[in-house]
């Protein structure tokens, strides 16, 4: 019964977030029913805390209902064409296809994502393989300090190995039980929920572990090298 109640609370919370993002929340005032302004909802979310003590909605962000298409040059959305190369400062480099990726063990987690342009999608259910598990299979060398996500058309995004090995960092293939749309990274993208969303590279093709940092596509064009939403690290 406790588990059922906990699951019901999660469903209710997810529906609250969905309605908040869509601007359709209703509250009762003096016997009448009135729409709850999106700005008021966002203020409420900014007062909500995560388990690590950070506010749920970082400064300068507003909740939206779904992922927005933020551009980029896509690769093939076909799972048959997918290959992921894990290499660099590792003992056992390897390349796997889509079916092999799924066999590594899928996890599902709830995570918020925050775009540098100011929108946040809250409460998404992401499915995929932990980057930590891929790194364990590759066996990182001691001098592997950074992980570079690689995508089609030479797009890259850099994060520290410490960030990459967090349990909430995924190579993800589904959102809310559905495959990604082509514009959102199909068939597979990375997920780094504690950094701005450009770090979660779409149309993923590789994870390159390196000794020295290699700033990626946006980092070399003026964006912050780390990209912490709670510190508003938008630009370098």
Q: List, for residues 95-135, the tens digit of each pLDDT value.
A: 999 999 999 999 999 999 999 999 999 999 999 999 999 99
Overall fold of domain 79-231: Sulfite Oxidase; Chain A, domain 2 (3.90.420)
pLDDT in tens, 204-227: 999 999 999 999 999 999 999 999
pLDDT < 70 regions, the chain: 1-41, 46
Q: Residues spanned by CATH 3.90.420.10 within the chain?
A: 79-231
> What pTM was computed for the model?
0.83
**Are 172 and 184 a contacting pair, CB within 8 Å?**
no
Say how far apart CA 188 and CA 195 lie, in whole Å: 18
């Amino acid at each position: 019964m406790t588990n059922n109640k906990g699951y019901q609370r999660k469903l209710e919370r997810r529906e609250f977030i969905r309605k908040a993002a869509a601007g359709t929340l209703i509250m009762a005032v003096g016997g009448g029913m009135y729409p709850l302004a999106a700005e008021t909802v966002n203020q409420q979310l900014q007062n909500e805390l995560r388990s690590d003590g950070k506010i749920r909605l970082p400064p300068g962000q507003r909740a939206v209902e779904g992922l927005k298409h933020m551009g980029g040059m896509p690769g093939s959305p076909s799972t048959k064409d997918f290959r992921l190369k894990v290499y660099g400062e590792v003992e056992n480099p390897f390349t796997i296809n889509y079916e092999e990726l799924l066999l590594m063990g899928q996890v599902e987690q709830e995570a918020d994502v925050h775009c540098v342009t100011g929108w946040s999608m809250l409460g998404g259910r992401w499915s995929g393989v932990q980057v930590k598990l891929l790194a364990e299979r590759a066996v990182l060398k001691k001098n592997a300090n950074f992980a570079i996500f690689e995508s089609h058309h030479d797009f890259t995004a850099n994060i520290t190995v410490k960030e990459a090995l967090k349990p909430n960092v995924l190579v993800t293939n589904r959102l809310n039980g559905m495959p990604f749309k082509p514009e959102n990274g199909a068939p597979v993208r990375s997920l780094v929920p504690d950094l701005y969303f450009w770090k979660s590279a779409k149309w993923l093709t590789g994870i390159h572990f390196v000794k020295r940092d290699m700033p990626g596509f946006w980092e070399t064009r003026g964006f912050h090298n780390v990209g912490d939403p709670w510190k508003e690290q938008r630009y370098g």
